[in-house]
Amino acid sequence: MAMLFFCCTDNYKRVGEEAQKKVYPRGIAENSVLTYSELIEPLEGEDTKPAKNIAVLRSPIAYNYENLVFPYRLFPEGLEVDFFDERGEKNKVRADYGIVYSATNLIDLQGNVVLETPDGKKLETPQLYYDQDNQWVFTQEVFKFTNPEDGTIMDGKGMDFNKNLSFLSAHKTYGLMSIKEK
């Protein structure tokens, strides 16, 4: 009898896709709207005080993998984010796919990423990263940056800039661009 059980053990070593462990999200949200806000003044006891909105994130579906060793949130069907600057003006970001890495505070947006500012500036690229800790935005992909104030359209590959677009560094630019002399 022991010989029968010994012969029937599974000694097959799994590799590739078979070896991958199944990972399940902690939660799934459909048609989610997340509002990030912060208090203007600290609360004392059970006070209620006004808060200001920092960002509003909308997504058709969101997966929460915060239960993993390297936690993240996944937005496989795209997302839209309205984030507000110090003056309360709304900036918009849209992407076909997004991942928010909680451990590193890095946001990875992919597929038809469009960033629009209240003054009409527009950035279009296939992938864009946002480092929340340093408030720095960057891409190594091709981009198109439209600035209606100057009437310019800049095409290039690779750029990085700060959150409010007051500092912008394009790595490689090409195409026609008009520059006004002062």
- Give pLDDT, residue 10: 61
The answer to whether position 125 is within a domain reads yes
Ranges in the chain, pLDDT < 70:
1-12, 14-19, 47, 49, 175-182
What are the tens digits of pLDDT across the range 56-89?
899 999 999 998 899 999 999 999 998 887 788 8
- Give pLDDT, residue 54: 81
The answer to whether position 9 is within a domain reads no
The three-state (H, E, C) secondary structure of the chain, written as one string = CHHHHHHCCCCCCCCHHHHCCCCCCCEEEEEEEEEEEEECCCCCCCCCCCEEEEEEEEEEEEEEECCCCCCEEEECCCEEEEEECCCCCEEEEEECEEEEECCCCEEEEEEEEEEECCCCCEEEEEEEEEECCCCEEEEEEEEEEEECCCCEEEEEEEEEEECCCCCEEEEEEECCCCCCCC
Threshold 0.75, pTM exceeds: yes
- Give pLDDT, residue 48: 73
Q: What is the CATH number of the domain that holds 107?
A: 2.60.450.10
The answer to whether position 43 is within a domain reads no
Provide the residue range defining the domain that includes 109.
24-38+51-174
